[in-house]
Amino acid sequence: MKQANTLLPLLLTMSVTQLAFANNSESDEYDYIATPDANQIADLIDDDRDGVINARDLCISTPEGSLINNDGCGIIAETQDEMQLRILFANDSSTISPIFENQIRNMADFLERFPETAIEVQGFASSVGAPEYNLALSKRRAIAVEQELLNNGVTPDRVTIVGYGETNLEASGDDELSHAKNRKVTATVVGYDQEPVKEWTIFSVIEK
Protein backbone atom coordinates (compact mmCIF):
# COMPACT_ATOMS: atom_id res chain seq x y z
CA MET A 1 0.00 0.00 0.00
CA LYS A 2 2.90 2.34 0.73
CA GLN A 3 4.38 1.59 -2.72
CA ALA A 4 1.12 2.58 -4.42
CA ASN A 5 1.09 5.87 -2.57
CA THR A 6 4.64 6.54 -3.80
CA LEU A 7 3.98 5.81 -7.51
CA LEU A 8 0.78 7.84 -7.73
CA PRO A 9 2.42 11.34 -7.54
CA LEU A 10 5.08 10.24 -10.10
CA LEU A 11 2.47 9.06 -12.59
CA LEU A 12 0.49 12.26 -12.20
CA THR A 13 3.62 14.35 -12.86
CA MET A 14 4.49 12.41 -16.03
CA SER A 15 0.97 12.76 -17.36
CA VAL A 16 0.93 16.53 -16.86
CA THR A 17 4.35 16.86 -18.57
CA GLN A 18 3.30 14.82 -21.60
CA LEU A 19 0.11 16.82 -21.95
CA ALA A 20 1.98 20.13 -21.80
CA PHE A 21 4.49 18.95 -24.43
CA ALA A 22 1.71 17.83 -26.74
CA ASN A 23 0.00 21.20 -26.45
CA ASN A 24 3.23 23.09 -27.18
CA SER A 25 4.00 20.92 -30.24
CA GLU A 26 0.64 21.72 -31.75
CA SER A 27 1.02 25.47 -31.21
CA ASP A 28 4.71 25.80 -32.32
CA GLU A 29 4.19 26.25 -36.04
CA TYR A 30 6.48 28.50 -38.15
CA ASP A 31 6.46 29.76 -41.75
CA TYR A 32 8.95 28.00 -44.02
CA ILE A 33 12.00 30.12 -44.86
CA ALA A 34 14.00 29.08 -47.94
CA THR A 35 17.77 28.74 -47.60
CA PRO A 36 19.35 31.88 -49.13
CA ASP A 37 21.80 31.60 -52.02
CA ALA A 38 25.40 32.52 -51.21
CA ASN A 39 26.42 35.91 -52.58
CA GLN A 40 30.13 35.49 -53.28
CA ILE A 41 31.51 38.95 -53.95
CA ALA A 42 35.15 38.03 -54.69
CA ASP A 43 36.72 34.80 -55.91
CA LEU A 44 39.79 33.08 -54.53
CA ILE A 45 41.66 32.77 -57.81
CA ASP A 46 45.42 33.28 -57.59
CA ASP A 47 46.69 33.44 -61.16
CA ASP A 48 50.37 33.93 -60.35
CA ARG A 49 50.25 31.39 -57.52
CA ASP A 50 52.04 33.59 -55.04
CA GLY A 51 49.61 32.98 -52.18
CA VAL A 52 47.74 36.28 -52.58
CA ILE A 53 44.37 36.15 -54.36
CA ASN A 54 43.72 38.31 -57.41
CA ALA A 55 41.19 40.44 -55.52
CA ARG A 56 43.96 42.04 -53.44
CA ASP A 57 47.09 41.29 -55.47
CA LEU A 58 48.75 44.53 -56.60
CA CYS A 59 51.37 42.67 -58.66
CA ILE A 60 49.57 40.12 -60.80
CA SER A 61 52.63 38.62 -62.49
CA THR A 62 55.05 37.97 -59.64
CA PRO A 63 57.84 35.59 -60.75
CA GLU A 64 57.33 32.14 -59.30
CA GLY A 65 59.27 31.48 -56.12
CA SER A 66 59.63 35.16 -55.20
CA LEU A 67 59.55 36.35 -51.62
CA ILE A 68 56.48 38.60 -51.52
CA ASN A 69 54.88 41.19 -49.26
CA ASN A 70 51.24 41.35 -48.15
CA ASP A 71 50.22 43.04 -51.41
CA GLY A 72 51.52 40.14 -53.52
CA CYS A 73 54.52 42.09 -54.83
CA GLY A 74 57.95 40.51 -54.93
CA ILE A 75 60.69 41.95 -52.77
CA ILE A 76 63.36 43.36 -55.10
CA ALA A 77 67.12 43.43 -54.52
CA GLU A 78 69.28 45.86 -56.49
CA THR A 79 72.59 44.64 -57.86
CA GLN A 80 75.37 46.33 -59.77
CA ASP A 81 78.28 45.24 -61.89
CA GLU A 82 81.20 47.06 -63.42
CA MET A 83 83.39 46.54 -66.48
CA GLN A 84 86.40 48.48 -67.71
CA LEU A 85 88.18 48.91 -71.01
CA ARG A 86 91.91 49.54 -71.20
CA ILE A 87 93.36 49.39 -74.69
CA LEU A 88 96.97 50.36 -75.43
CA PHE A 89 98.29 51.65 -78.76
CA ALA A 90 101.60 51.77 -80.54
CA ASN A 91 103.36 55.12 -80.91
CA ASP A 92 101.55 57.50 -83.30
CA SER A 93 98.91 54.83 -84.08
CA SER A 94 95.16 54.43 -83.70
CA THR A 95 95.10 50.81 -84.88
CA ILE A 96 93.67 48.37 -82.33
CA SER A 97 95.87 45.35 -81.69
CA PRO A 98 94.10 41.97 -82.06
CA ILE A 99 94.94 41.14 -78.45
CA PHE A 100 92.33 43.73 -77.33
CA GLU A 101 89.46 42.52 -79.57
CA ASN A 102 88.17 40.07 -76.98
CA GLN A 103 88.07 42.86 -74.39
CA ILE A 104 85.89 44.94 -76.71
CA ARG A 105 83.54 42.00 -77.36
CA ASN A 106 83.15 41.47 -73.63
CA MET A 107 82.23 45.14 -73.20
CA ALA A 108 79.65 44.85 -75.97
CA ASP A 109 78.14 41.84 -74.21
CA PHE A 110 78.10 43.79 -70.95
CA LEU A 111 76.23 46.66 -72.59
CA GLU A 112 73.71 44.21 -74.01
CA ARG A 113 73.18 42.76 -70.53
CA PHE A 114 72.50 46.25 -69.15
CA PRO A 115 70.51 47.98 -71.91
CA GLU A 116 69.93 51.16 -69.88
CA THR A 117 73.64 51.94 -69.65
CA ALA A 118 75.86 54.03 -71.93
CA ILE A 119 79.61 54.21 -72.42
CA GLU A 120 82.03 57.12 -72.71
CA VAL A 121 85.17 56.12 -74.61
CA GLN A 122 88.13 58.24 -73.51
CA GLY A 123 91.21 58.53 -75.70
CA PHE A 124 94.67 59.59 -74.53
CA ALA A 125 98.13 60.22 -75.98
CA SER A 126 101.65 60.47 -74.65
CA SER A 127 103.46 63.77 -74.36
CA VAL A 128 105.67 63.03 -77.34
CA GLY A 129 104.92 65.50 -80.15
CA ALA A 130 102.81 68.65 -80.42
CA PRO A 131 99.81 68.96 -78.06
CA GLU A 132 97.41 69.75 -80.95
CA TYR A 133 98.48 66.63 -82.83
CA ASN A 134 98.21 64.48 -79.71
CA LEU A 135 94.67 65.74 -79.07
CA ALA A 136 93.58 64.69 -82.56
CA LEU A 137 95.39 61.36 -82.17
CA SER A 138 93.60 60.63 -78.90
CA LYS A 139 90.24 61.27 -80.59
CA ARG A 140 91.14 58.94 -83.47
CA ARG A 141 91.94 56.22 -80.96
CA ALA A 142 88.59 56.72 -79.23
CA ILE A 143 86.79 56.62 -82.59
CA ALA A 144 88.53 53.34 -83.48
CA VAL A 145 87.27 51.73 -80.27
CA GLU A 146 83.81 53.17 -80.82
CA GLN A 147 83.68 51.62 -84.29
CA GLU A 148 84.59 48.20 -82.91
CA LEU A 149 81.82 48.47 -80.33
CA LEU A 150 79.36 49.30 -83.11
CA ASN A 151 80.63 46.32 -85.11
CA ASN A 152 79.77 44.16 -82.10
CA GLY A 153 76.16 45.31 -81.96
CA VAL A 154 76.24 48.38 -79.70
CA THR A 155 73.96 51.14 -81.01
CA PRO A 156 75.54 54.56 -81.73
CA ASP A 157 73.26 56.43 -79.33
CA ARG A 158 74.85 54.61 -76.40
CA VAL A 159 78.45 55.58 -77.20
CA THR A 160 80.16 58.93 -76.78
CA ILE A 161 83.83 59.71 -77.33
CA VAL A 162 86.19 62.28 -75.90
CA GLY A 163 89.85 62.94 -76.57
CA TYR A 164 92.11 64.17 -73.79
CA GLY A 165 95.32 64.39 -75.77
CA GLU A 166 98.35 64.46 -73.50
CA THR A 167 96.41 65.80 -70.51
CA ASN A 168 95.53 63.56 -67.55
CA LEU A 169 98.64 61.46 -68.06
CA GLU A 170 98.72 58.16 -66.20
CA ALA A 171 102.50 58.17 -66.00
CA SER A 172 104.52 61.39 -65.86
CA GLY A 173 107.93 59.98 -66.74
CA ASP A 174 109.80 60.66 -69.98
CA ASP A 175 110.81 57.04 -70.55
CA GLU A 176 109.32 54.62 -73.09
CA LEU A 177 107.35 52.67 -70.46
CA SER A 178 105.62 55.84 -69.25
CA HIS A 179 104.81 56.87 -72.82
CA ALA A 180 103.38 53.40 -73.55
CA LYS A 181 101.05 53.63 -70.55
CA ASN A 182 99.71 56.99 -71.79
CA ARG A 183 98.90 55.79 -75.35
CA LYS A 184 95.52 54.33 -74.46
CA VAL A 185 91.74 54.29 -74.56
CA THR A 186 89.80 53.65 -71.36
CA ALA A 187 86.17 53.33 -70.35
CA THR A 188 84.28 52.30 -67.25
CA VAL A 189 80.66 51.20 -67.31
CA VAL A 190 78.54 50.47 -64.24
CA GLY A 191 75.39 48.46 -64.82
CA TYR A 192 72.51 48.32 -62.39
CA ASP A 193 69.98 45.53 -62.26
CA GLN A 194 67.03 44.39 -60.16
CA GLU A 195 65.96 40.87 -59.38
CA PRO A 196 63.32 39.39 -57.06
CA VAL A 197 64.44 37.85 -53.79
CA LYS A 198 63.63 34.14 -53.72
CA GLU A 199 61.68 32.75 -50.80
CA TRP A 200 63.26 30.02 -48.71
CA THR A 201 62.28 26.45 -49.49
CA ILE A 202 63.64 23.08 -48.45
CA PHE A 203 65.65 23.12 -51.67
CA SER A 204 67.31 26.48 -50.99
CA VAL A 205 71.09 26.47 -50.73
CA ILE A 206 72.48 28.54 -47.87
CA GLU A 207 75.84 30.07 -48.72
CA LYS A 208 78.53 29.39 -46.15
Please give the chain's pLDDT, 208 residues, in tens: 444 455 555 555 555 555 555 555 555 677 788 887 776 665 677 776 777 777 777 777 777 777 777 777 777 677 788 999 999 999 999 999 999 999 999 999 999 999 989 999 999 999 999 999 999 999 999 999 999 999 999 999 999 999 999 998 999 889 999 999 999 999 999 987 766 666 665 545 566 5
Question: Can you state the angle between helices 101-113 and 131-151, rounded to 10 degrees?
Answer: 60
Is residue 206 domain-resident?
Answer: no
Residues 67 and 102 in one domain: no
Question: Based on the domain organization, do 62 and 142 belong to the same domain?
Answer: no
Within this chain, do residues 54 and 98 fall inside the same structural domain, yes or no?
no
Last residue of a domain, one of 31, 56, 74: 74
CATH number of the domain bearing residue 127: 3.30.1330.60
pLDDT at position 205 is 58
Residue 160 contacts residue 121 (beta carbons within 8 Å): yes
Instruction: Report yes or no on 86 lying in a domain.
Output: yes
Q: What is the pTM of this model?
A: 0.62
d(Cα 103, Cα 106) in Å, to the nearest integer?
5
Going by C-alpha positions, the residue among 188, 185, 159 that lies closest to residue 80 is: 188
Same-domain pairing of 143 and 68: no
Q: Is residue 164 part of a domain?
A: yes
Contact 199, 66 (CB under 8 A): yes
pLDDT for residue 35 = 81
Residue 143 domain-assigned (yes or no): yes
Q: Are residues 105 and 192 in the same domain?
A: yes
Task: Note whether residue 1 is domain-resident.
Answer: no
Q: For residues 86 and 159, state if they share a domain.
A: yes
Q: Look at residue 88 and tell me if it is in a domain.
A: yes
Same-domain pairing of 166 and 91: yes
pLDDT for the residue numbered 2:
46
Structural domain including 55 reads 40-74
Q: Are residues 55 and 93 in the same domain?
A: no
What is the spatial distance between Cα 139 and Cα 176, in angstroms, rounded to a whole number? 22
Question: For residue 26, is it within any domain?
Answer: no
Which residue type does 136 have? A
Whether residues 170 and 129 fall in one domain: yes
